[in-house]
Every structure is written in C-alpha cells, then in structure tokens.
Amino acid sequence: MNDSLLEIPGYSVHGRLGKGGMAEVYLATQESLHRQVAIKVLQRLDDEAFAKRFVKEAHLVASLHHPSIITIHDIGQLADGRYYIAMEFVAGGDLAQHRGERFEPQRALDIVRQIAAALVVVHDKGMVHRDIKPANILFREDGTAVLSDFGIAKELELDSELTQYNVAVGSPAYSSPEQAQCQPLDARSDIYSLGVILLEMLTGTNPFRGSSYTQTVMNHVQQETPRLHGALERYQFLLDRMLAKDPDERFADCRVLLASLAELNEGELDNTRLTP
C-alpha cells in the first residue's frame, strides 16, 4: 500500500514501519497531543469474526497497565472499514536485533524480570501471550523492556493453525513443548518461552532452533535443557525450572519466578563488594 493513501483522521502518517501477514504498522503523529504513535492496521476485510476478535483483544490489552506492557491509545476504523490500533511508539528497537549477542548476566536477568512482571498482569487477566519471542520484546530509549504484540493480529486457534504445516501459532524456536503439540496452554507456557530467551541471552544461541519446523518442534519436546558452564552455572537452576518439559515442574507462575530472581539477586549482592 502506498503510504500516501493511508488517511486516518486525527493522525499524520509518516511511513510504514513493518508488515506482517495480518497487519501493517505505520509511524504517525497523533495531532491532538503531538506525540508519535505506532498504528497497526488490520489488512483483512473479509472475515468479520476475525475483526471482532481484533477489537476485543485490543480492548483487553488496553486494560493491562504496567510499565513493561505496550500502551494502547486508540482504536478505530479507516474509511474502507479496516480496523486500526494506535499504540505507544517504542524507539529503542527490539531484542531480535541483538540475536547472537551474549548479554551480561545482570542485564539478561533484568530483562527477564521486567517481562515476567508484565506477564503477571497478563496472566491475572486470564490471558496467555502465546508468542513470547525476541521480536516482541521492545526497548524504550532508557532501556526499559516492553512486551508487545499480544496476538492482536494473529489467529489464536491452536488446533487449526498448528495442523497447517509452517503456519503455527507463536514462533517455533520459542514455543513450549505443549504449545508445539497442540495441548492446552496456561501461564507456564509463557514462562518456558521466556526461559528460551534467557538461555539465548546468556549464551548467544538458541539450541532448540532446528533446520526445519519439524526439527525445532521435536527439539522442544525431546532435547534436554543445555548445561551452563563457568560463571553462568549459578543460573542453571533458573533454566532447569523455566525449561522443564513438564509444565508441573516449572515455576507455578511468574510471581514465583520473580521471587526466585529476587533471591538470586540478593545472593549476588551479598557476594559483591559495593562502593559508593
């Protein structure tokens, strides 16, 4: 679509930021408040049920209030009937841009802590994000991690999509074993995905990523949790709990995960000499 053809009352559209299978995202200025926003425009006009879900989930996400959850400002319709969502524009890029990098452990844990705190709010609303992956973890200019893309522009029926080869809900490289096997999901599935991200930040690699969709899925189902070495060994217990194949062996919820992160942080402070 030509950017010049996109007209949204109350907004000045500057250009397209990205495009997916279900939606396009544009950078714009909300004229009434003179603030930059990202506008996600639904591309489908032929599926009324999908459009209703798009609107319903937008309302749900707008009800989630947390510093590490993307803020939704507005929802409306274009002249041609397509729905759009105006949300906070996050200028610091996303975690996917750092693929292959090894993070300092404290920075990696801080990102996990912020996203886990956001997920507490999500899960308390009875929602499961389903697509925790680096591209959906954004950064504000001050380095704050922000969770985005709550499946607003995605099909969420696991049974229908996972049976279509290469069209799976979520991202296979970060999917929990139960998600890969079309089983019921709860908060612990998001914890597993966040564990894969922690592993990738600490080591610079995602060992579950296979050469094909099928191999990646099988790796999540069968491959043991990788062993950390050297100074990273102290974080092994976190990964063992987050990446347990059986959801019952993972942290029960993100509050328990946050408590373990707090204990770990306190233990490390006890062993660190602090200077003014």
Question: How far apart are the C-alpha atoms of 191 and 180, rounded to whole Å?
Answer: 15
Which tens digits make up the pLDDT trace of 72-92?
A: 999 999 988 889 999 999 999
Q: What is the pTM of this model?
A: 0.86
Q: SS3 for 137?
A: strand
Query: What pLDDT is attached to residue 239?
Result: 97
pLDDT at 26 over 60: yes
Question: How far apart are the C-alpha atoms of 39 and 73, rounded to whole Å?
Answer: 10
Spatial CB neighbours of 77, under 8 Å, sequence gap ≥ 6: 83, 84
Confidence of residue 42 (pLDDT cuts 50, 70, 90): confident
HEC profile of 37-71: EEEEEECCCCCHHHHHHHHHHHHHHHCCCCCCECC
Query: What pLDDT is attached to residue 118?
Result: 97
Catalytic residues: 131
Domains of the chain as residue ranges with CATH: 3-88 (3.30.200.20), 95-270 (1.10.510.10)
Alpha helices in the chain (DSSP H): 48-62, 105-124, 158-161, 177-180, 187-203, 213-222, 236-242, 254-270
Q: Are 201 and 141 a contacting pair, CB within 8 Å?
A: no
